Chains A and B, each alone.
Chain A
Amino acid sequence: MKIAIANSQLLVRDSISRMLSADAGFEICINAANGNELINSLSRVSTLPDLCLLDVQMPQMNGYETMNIIRQSWPGLKVLVFSQLEDDFVIESMLSLGVKSYLGKDCTITELQKALVSVHEKGYYRSALMARISESAGNKSLCFDVHEYTYLKYCHTELTAKEIAGVMNVSPAAVYSYRKSLLEKLKLSTRQGLAMFALKTGIVAPGDIKFISHSRHLPAT
Chain B
Amino acid sequence: MTEQAAILIAIADDHAVVRDSISNMVSGGGKFKVIIKAGNGRELIEQLAKANPLPEICILDIQMPEMNGYETMEYIRQHWPDLKVLALSMLEDEFAIIRMLKLGACGYLSKASDLEELQKALIYIHERGYYSSEFIASNYLRSIKHNHPATINITDRQMEFLKYCCTELSMKEIADKMSISTSTALSYRNALCDKLGLTTRQGLAIYAIKSGIVSFEDL
Contact = CB atoms under 8 A, between A and B. Distances in A.
A144 to B, nearest CB: 19
Interface string A194-221: 0111011000001001001111111000
Contacts of B146: 214, 217-218
B111 interface: yes
B154 to A, nearest CB: 12
A197 B151 CA distance: 26
A133 to B, nearest CB: 18
B113 A106 contact: no
B30 interface: no
In this complex, the member of B17, B18, B88, B151 whose beta carbon has the largest number of chain A beta carbons within 10 angstroms is B17
* Most chain B Cβ neighbours within 10 Å, of A15, A84, A156, A218: A15
Contacts of B99: none
Interface in A1-34: 8-12, 14-16, 18-19
Interface in B141-156: 146, 148, 151
A217 B198 contact: no
Interface residues of B, number: 44
A107 B16 contact: yes
A14 to B, nearest CB: 5
B46 interface: no
A195 B208 CA distance: 13
Given A192-B201, A199-B219, A212-B203, A12 B24 contact: no
A19 B17 contact: yes
A193 B168 contact: yes
A170 interface: no
A85 interface: yes
A112 B114 CA distance: 20
A10 B209 contact: no
Given A217-B146, A217-B197, A12 B209 contact: no
B205 interface: yes
A85 B216 CA distance: 8
Contact of B111 (A9, A109, A192, A199): A9
Contact of A108 (B16, B95, B210): B16
B166 A196 contact: yes
A191 B18 CA distance: 35
Contacts of B198: 158, 212-213, 215
A196 B167 CA distance: 8
B93 A213 contact: yes
B132 interface: no
B64 to A, nearest CB: 10
Contacts of A107: 16-17
A84 B15 contact: yes
B22 interface: yes
Interface string B149-174: 00100000000000000111000000
A15 B219 contact: no
A193 B198 CA distance: 19
A199 B206 CA distance: 9
B118 interface: yes
Nearest to A57: B216
A196 B168 CA distance: 9
Contact of B16 (A106, A156, A196, A206): A106
Contacts of A44: none
Contacts of A197: 219
Given A11-B18, A19-B21, A200-B219, A206 B90 contact: yes
B137 to A, nearest CB: 17
A158 B200 contact: yes
Contacts of A215: 197-198, 203
A112 B211 CA distance: 30
Interface in A147-178: 156-158
Contacts of A12: 15, 17-18, 111
A209 B206 contact: yes
12 contacts: A11-B112, A11-B113, A11-B118, A16-B17, A18-B115, A19-B21, A105-B16, A192-B205, A196-B166, A200-B216, A206-B90, A213-B93
CB-CB nearest 4 A-B residue pairs: A15-B21, A216-B197, A11-B111, A217-B146
